């Protein structure tokens, strides 16, 4: 495979106008980092690992915890791991953080808590609130979305490359720690799958020769940054901070999503939902 150095994702400064972001990135479906969006969020100081454990264990409504582990013997395979409680996940997380051990299994789809629990610590970013109020985008978090989705991890885990189903744009805010995102257009990856409507290619994107072997971008998020991820964008994420917390904000599909759904991957995604 011929190596192609991934391009750094553009980074916008915190004083960028909402209109500039909207026309140059959202409409163009181009990923971008918005710097220091969460610079003054209370969560950055309050959300220690101990505080997160207390909040999540009290407010999440899961009986068991679905995790995914990267196989040591087959690097293209991720196995599902079920833990009996969120407390057990935090036990494991605390061991990884305390002993600086690479995390081998992480939350499969994050964990949800009532939005009312986190909204004071993680308010809707100003740029998103402005665009929503101007009816440029429809932010689910301002349209009655009841749950906030959190991703909590230690360092060392590298998630499976995939795209998120059903074509909505979302934003990931790095509240604590750091992550490196490898991003790819739908047209840049082969459509070979384990199953017809699987949302992940077979290649092992934890290997540099693989994630540099396809045209794409790399986004390095630091605390306070927010990443815009356009609809149907493949991504694999390397958890590089010692203790990492992300929260997402999601949009409803809109007219700017229409070109994506007409592309081969978008048509496959719709077919898989029928």
Residue pLDDT, tens place only, 190-222: 655 555 445 666 677 777 777 777 778 999 999
Q: Given this model, what pLDDT does residue 95 score?
A: 97
pTM: 0.90
Residue pLDDT, tens place only, 39-89: 999 999 999 999 999 999 999 988 899 998 877 666 567 788 999 999 999
Alpha-carbon Rg for the chain in angstroms? 18
Written out in words, the top-level CATH class of the domain with range 7-42+111-273 is mainly beta
Residue pLDDT, tens place only, 153-196: 999 998 888 888 766 889 999 999 999 999 987 777 665 555 54
Q: Is the pLDDT of residue 116 over 90?
A: yes
Spans of all domains in the chain: 7-42+111-273
Other Cβ atoms closer than 10 A to 201? 23
Q: Is the pLDDT of residue 151 over 50?
A: yes
B/e letters for 238-255, b = 16+ CB within 10 Å, e = fewer, are bbbbbbbbbbbbbbeeee
Q: Given this model, what pLDDT does residue 197 score?
A: 44
CA distances (Å), 176 to each of 16, 33, 46, 157, in order?
Answer: 23, 16, 10, 15
Q: Which residues contact 54 (CB under 8 A, 6 or more apart)?
A: none
HEC letters along 217-270 = EEEEECCCCEEEECCCCEEEEEECCCEEEEEEEEECCCHHHHHHHCCHHHHHHH
For the chain, the residue count is 274
């Amino acid at each position: 495979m011929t190596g192609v150095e991934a391009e750094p994702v553009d980074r916008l400064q915190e004083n960028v106008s909402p209109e500039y972001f909207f026309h140059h990135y959202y409409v163009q479906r181009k990923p971008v980092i918005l710097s220091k969006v969460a610079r003054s969020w209370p969560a950055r100081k309050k959300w220690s690992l101990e505080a997160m454990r207390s909040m999540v264990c009290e407010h999440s409504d899961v009986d068991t915890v679905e995790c995914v582990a990267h196989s040591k013997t087959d690097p293209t395979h991720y196995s599902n791991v079920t833990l009996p409680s969120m407390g057990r996940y935090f036990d494991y997380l605390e061991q990884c953080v305390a002993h600086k051990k690479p995390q081998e299994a992480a939350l499969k789809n994050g964990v949800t808590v009532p939005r009312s629990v986190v909204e004071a610590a993680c308010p809707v970013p100003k740029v998103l609130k402005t665009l929503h109020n101007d009816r440029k985008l429809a932010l689910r978090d301002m349209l009655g979305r009841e749950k906030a989705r959190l991703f909590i991890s230690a360092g060392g885990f590298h998630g499976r490359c995939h795209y998120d189903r059903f074509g909505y744009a979302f934003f990931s805010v790095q509240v604590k720690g750091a992550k490196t995102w490898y991003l790819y257009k739908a047209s840049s990856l082969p459509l070979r799958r384990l199953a017809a409507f699987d949302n992940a290619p077979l290649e092992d994107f934890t290997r540099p020769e693989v994630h540099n072997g396809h045209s794409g971008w790399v986004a390095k998020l630091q605390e306070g940054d927010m990443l815009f991820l356009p609809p149907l964008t493949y991504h694999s994420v390397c958890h590089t901070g010692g203790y990492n917390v992300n929260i997402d904000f999601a949009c409803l599909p809109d007219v700017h999503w229409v070109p994506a759904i007409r592309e081969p991957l978008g048509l496959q995604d719709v077919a898989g939902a029928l």
